[in-house]
Amino acid sequence: MESARDPIPFRPYEPGTQPPYDVPAYGSTHKRHPQEALARLPHTVTEVAGPRFNPSQFPPIPDLSAVNGKAALGERIIVRGRITDEGGHPVPHTIVEIWQANAAGRYQHPADQHDAPSDPNFRGEGRVYTDEDGWYRFISIKPGAYPWRNHHNAWRPNHIHFSFFGSGFAARLITQMYFPGDPLLELDPIFLAIPDKAARDRLVCKLDMTLTEPEWALGYRFDVVLRGHAATPMEG
């Protein structure tokens, strides 16, 4: 039986907004997607509660564009955006993890065998927190496109990887931010795995001249919505 003390569950995902597990055009899904039906689990404290990170134990890394004061090669960018939940409420003081390839399309990672130069002055990892109104900001370099072996002549569009936690473990989100006008987007099985076009397009950031700093860096805006609760508790 349900009880009035039950935690308020997160909303179900909107149909078409999340990629399926089995995507034939993305070869790595073949042997890794579950074939049995998922077991339904009404949310309990395990799903509704989640980790909290604080800057003293998990220090911010807000600038990926330089190491020890030496600037990385490539096009410097500023990325800023607001994190809200599906009710439109800002998600304050939440951690944002970031990682990406360098300007040449190479990850500082032993498994990346792409024949492109690594850059010792590029930091592949970032970590920032939202402020009390849900805003985050970091500085980086526009990542390069890179080849992958999914199919003949496969290239990933320029992208930055993001990880968000939100207010509960069932709101966990790992995604990728893309750049406007990238012709590789329409060829990318990972991007195209999201059925709903409007949802896909929300992963593409927008050039924002109010974030752009003259003579220094282009600014891009990337807003993110995390799962919200199915019902709003009475306020007041």
Partner 1 sequence: MPAATSGQTIGPFWHLIEHPEWADLTRFGAAGDRIELTGSVTDGDGAAVTDAAVELWQADPPADHLFPGFGRCRTDARGEFRFTTLKPGPVPGRGNAQQAPHFAIALHARGLLKGLVTRAYFAGDPMNESDPLLSSIDDPERRATLIARSRGAGHWRIDIRLQRGPSGETETVFLDV
Q: By CB under 8 A, is residue 169 in contact with partner 1? A: yes
The interface region with partner 1, picked from 13-21, 71-79, 135-143, 211-219 by CB under 8 A, is 13-21
For the purposes of burial, counting CB atoms within 10 Å of the CB of 3, is it exposed (0-12), middle (13-18) or buried (19 or more)?
exposed
Q: By CB under 8 A, is residue 182 in contact with partner 1? A: no
129 as an active site residue: the answer is no
43, 76, 80, 107: the active-site residue? 107
In the chain, the largest separation of any two C-alpha atoms, in whole Å, equals 63
Structure tokens at 72: 């990385």
The interface region with partner 1, picked from 69-77, 122-130, 131-139, 212-220 by CB under 8 A, is 122-130
| Cα dihedral 18/231/80/207 (nearest 10) | 60
146 as an active site residue: the answer is yes
Q: By CB under 8 A, is residue 21 in contact with partner 1? A: yes
The interface region with partner 1, picked from 67-75, 179-187, 208-216, 226-234 by CB under 8 A, is 226-234
Q: By CB under 8 A, is residue 19 in contact with partner 1? A: yes
Radius of gyration for the alpha carbons in the chain, expressed in angstroms and rounded: 19
80, 127, 156, 200: the active-site residue? 156
Binding mask 123-162 for partner 1 (x = CB under 8 A): -xx-x---------------------------------x-
Q: By CB under 8 A, is residue 233 in contact with partner 1? A: no
Through-space distance between the first and last CA atoms of the chain, rounded to whole angstroms: 28
107 as an active site residue: the answer is yes
161 as an active site residue: the answer is yes
Long-range contacts of 53-59 (CB under 8 A, 24+ apart): 53/94, 53/95, 53/129, 53/165, 55/129, 58/95, 58/127, 59/127
Q: By CB under 8 A, is residue 235 in contact with partner 1? A: no
Contact yes or no for 71/103 (Cβ under 8 A): no
146, 178, 200, 229: the active-site residue? 146
Binding mask 63-102 for partner 1 (x = CB under 8 A): ---------------------x-xxx--------xxx-x-
Cα separation, 205 vs 220, in Å, equals 6
Kindly provide the residue ranges of all beta strands, DSSP E only, lying in 86-192, ordered along the sequence. Answer: 95-100, 125-129, 135-141, 146-148, 154-156, 159-164, 173-178
Q: By CB under 8 A, is residue 190 in contact with partner 1? A: yes
What amino acid positions are annotated as catalytic residues? Answer: 107, 146, 156, 159, 161
